[in-house]
Structure 1
């Protein structure tokens, strides 16, 4: 049995990455031997990472009573870490918004980006990846075209996610499906999206190769 965590990071019903999430989930449910968990970042209670969380850490150490926001932060962070720990494969479906990821996805990453959890430091100060036994899948939609050499340096959504889940945590990239240009080329949008959804469906079949 392979545990698959599918993260949804878009609350727009007509969003292309929302459709990618829905298509991937629908196809994955047809594959035997998968235990699928979904995690909708816009439905979860996920307060922003900041001083309140650090206050909560200090109060917990000292046995002090937490405020409501501090308690919510610790609960949200632990849940984010727990669903990631349980997964063999992590699928992240997200759009590019203003050159980067939605704030909800950034918050999720803030929760899990922790020394001793996704990575640790060795005695000589080097970072050691702690999740090399996991794989991840990138499902991204961006209305513009950022795959050209000129535009690629501006792309801070897919690169960010791959650097965190792959570079920091050490997960292996199982697949990457990017749909782009549907806003830049409105006359071709329907065909661009349809072709991309076929690639999403095909991507699900790669789960069979890691089915344990």
Structure 2
């Protein structure tokens, strides 16, 4: 299926929801990390970009491009799905989206269905992906609001996580690897900057809520510390890619 944004989706309906790589447990949809029978064998790489700046200016976009190129060289059979949150922003979460997305199709009103459409698309992309790459520049110690909107649209109780009887959350998106491409103006991976790093630390926490626990951080730091330091920060990130991907 091709959606209105020109993104191709593989649909494997389960109980009325177009989700891939999942099983149903007590009405919840759980990724098992393996292809369903009849599904394509091709690896799917979901690339989520959030920098306001274009490639050539944005460090996170540049390093993400390097990562994807290196991945495709090693895994040429990969299908790449791109979601650019700057050029195609997702609206901030509101009551309509939240309440509609949490309901099953049978429970939804026509208004719920319209409000939940973007959440359904993003959750479908998430479940269908084998590997997720998130380009996340640091803005004011945290992540861009566009990326937060993406998170709010996919972190839906009963869809991508649920609460157990004892109150603990359980992630329902499993068996996937996540790479966070983080860019930062200064140094936040060590020293005093770690106390105000709410970028990859937050992303690790919220991805863990969804069941995504295999998370690697590739950081391009020093991006506002002058040309030499900037280049050194990107070079270190590229070496991290080489070490991870081989």
**CA–CA separation in structure 2 for the residues paired with 1:126 and 1:191:** 42
Q: Can you list the C-alpha shifts for 1:10-44, whole angstroms capped at 9, x where unaligned? A: 13111100101221222222223322211111233
- 1:58–1:94 Cα change, 3 Å: closer
Secondary structure of the 1:152 match is helix
**CA–CA separation in structure 1 for the residues paired with 2:158 and 2:101:** 15
**What does residue 157 of structure 1 align with?**
199
Give runs of aligned pairs for residues 43-122 of structure 1, distance below 5 A. 43-54=87-98, 61=107, 63=109, 65=111, 71=114, 73-122=115-164
Q: Does 1:25 pair with 2:68? A: yes
Q: Can you list the C-alpha shifts for 1:50-71, whole angstroms capped at 9, x where unaligned? A: 23425756998573557xxx83
**CA–CA separation in structure 1 for the residues paired with 2:126 and 2:78:** 16
4+ residue segments displaced more than 4 Å? 54-62
Number of positions where the alignment pairs a residue of Structure 1 with one of Structure 2: 200
Given candidates 1, 12, 16, the residue that maps to 2:53 is 12
**CA–CA separation in structure 2 for the residues paired with 1:132 and 1:116:** 15
RMSD: 2.5
**CA–CA separation in structure 2 for the residues paired with 1:62 and 1:119:** 19
Q: Can you list the C-alpha shifts for 1:65-110, whole angstroms capped at 9, x where unaligned? A: 57xxx83x42211111110010111111110011110011000000
**What does residue 13 of structure 2 align with?**
none
Q: Give the helix-richer structure, 1 or 2.
A: 1
Secondary structure of the 1:75 match is helix
Deviation at 1:184, TM superposition (A): 2.6
Q: Does 1:136 pair with 2:178? A: yes
Contact 2:90 2:149 in 1 (8 A): yes
Secondary structure of the 2:192 match is coil
Give 5+ residue unaligned stretches, structure 2. Answer: 1-41
TM-score, length of structure 2 as denominator length: 0.72
Q: Which moved more, 1:177-186 or 1:89-98?
A: 177-186
Secondary structure of the 1:151 match is helix
**What does residue 209 of structure 1 align with?**
none
- 1:75–1:143 Cα change, 3 Å: same
**What does residue 196 of structure 1 align with?**
237
Q: Which moved more, 1:5-14 or 1:79-88?
A: 5-14
**CA–CA separation in structure 2 for the residues paired with 1:64 and 1:190:** 52
Of structures 1 and 2, the one scoring higher in RCO (CA 8 A, sep 6+) is 1
Deviation at 1:201, TM superposition (A): 4.6
